[in-house]
Amino acid sequence: MFTLVSNLIAKAGLGGVFLLMVLENVVPAIPSELILPMAGFDAARGQMDPVLVALVGGIGSALGGIVWYVVGRCVGLERMVRLAGRMGRWAAVTPAELRRADRWFDRWGALVVAVGRCLPGIRGYICIPAGIARMPFARFMVWSTAGALAWSALLVSAGVSLNRHYEKVEQWMNPATEVVLGLCVVVYVVRVATWRPAA
């Protein structure tokens, strides 16, 4: 995983960072926690401008989040609840969890989007309740982009600050990434196995 991301960023530069961050939000198979620090490493070595990396990463992330916003807006809460009742086992979500998320979003609104875009695991999916609640698209994009840029800047800065240890990163990043992905699979399997269609 480390090598794949490293090679793409090395060959495509800012375009690679942008593409990876859009895809990371749509299909979170490659976490931003790997993409952006790696881009920060390259920026620290003079291959890219760190400010541009953070901007491109944040914009790519914000644009990727539109997909989930549109899903939420098109499907709506009640249809999502019905789908969760029938197919929620495979999405590892219950109708009750969807209703709770909707109430939480109604209460905290835009702040939920901005903060949620900085939280690993839900960064992309937090856009769904914004769509379900029919949050105005312009307002959604402002708060989503603000959160995505903050997250991007944080991770790029971490990558820049670790540049002197660049040669050691691959030694622990590859196994660490495999462990994180393995834990994600385990959590998903447990959620599927213990899922109950509570209304």
123-145 per-position pLDDT tens digit: 777 888 889 888 899 999 999 99
Q: Tokens 């009742």 — which residue?
A: 85
* Residue 150 banded pLDDT, cuts 50, 70, 90: very high
**pLDDT score of 198:** 56
48-73 per-position pLDDT tens digit: 899 999 999 999 999 999 998 998 89
Task: Name the domain count of the chain.
Answer: 1
Prediction pTM value: 0.74
Q: How far apart are CA 137 and CA 134, in angstroms?
A: 8
CA angle, 181 then 186 then 189, to 5°: 125
Residue 123 maps to a domain: yes
Domain around 29: 2-194
Long-range contacts of 78-83 (CB under 8 A, 24+ apart): 80/128, 80/132
**What mean pLDDT do residues 98-117 have?**
81
The mean predicted confidence, pLDDT, of the chain is: 80
Residue 199 maps to a domain: no
Q: How far apart are CA 63 and CA 148, in angstroms?
A: 10
- Whether the pLDDT of residue 4 is over 60: the answer is yes
